[in-house]
Every structure is written in C-alpha cells, then in structure tokens.
Amino acid sequence: MSMLKRAAALCGLLVSGLLLSACATVKPWQRARLADPCMVFDEDASLAGYRAHWLEAREGSAGGSGVQGGGCGCK
C-alpha cells in the first residue's frame, strides 16, 4: 500500500508541476530585452556563420535558417 501512495504522490507532483509551469505573455515593450544578442543559443557567431556557409556549399542551396521563434522577438 505504501508503494501505491508513493506512486500517486509522484504522479500528483508531476501533474502539478506541469500545470503550474505556464507561458507568460510578452508585452511589445519587453521584446527588446528578449531579443538581446546574449539570448542567442549559438556560443560563437563566427563558428555558426562558418557552419552555415559549409552547409550551403555542401547542399547546394542557401537560406531556410532564418530567425526562429513565434514572433515574440526571441531568437
């Protein structure tokens, strides 16, 4: 019975964690802070440029690697 209670408590904890984590609405005047260059996932911009150039040469095409995100100003 103790194992069943533990499993129920763990499931409850997981469900409450999922329910309590929520997305926040970003106001238009807050988007500039989110679009800061320090928020970019690439560690080294020159290395990312080199990789993009290498991929374009390898694939024979360019583009398709533009800004990601849902329009919130995030990159």
**Residue 40 predicted with pLDDT over 90:** no
Q: What is the mean pLDDT of residues 54-75?
A: 66
- This prediction's pTM: 0.32
User: pLDDT (tens digit, 9 = 90+) per residue, 7-19?
Assistant: 999 999 999 888 8
CA angle 21, 31, 37 (to 5 degrees): 100
Taking Cα atoms as reference points, which of 73, 72, 55, 21 lies closest to residue 64?
Answer: 55
Question: Can you give the pLDDT at residue 7?
Answer: 92
Helices (H) and strands (E) counted in the chain, each on its own, are: 3, 0
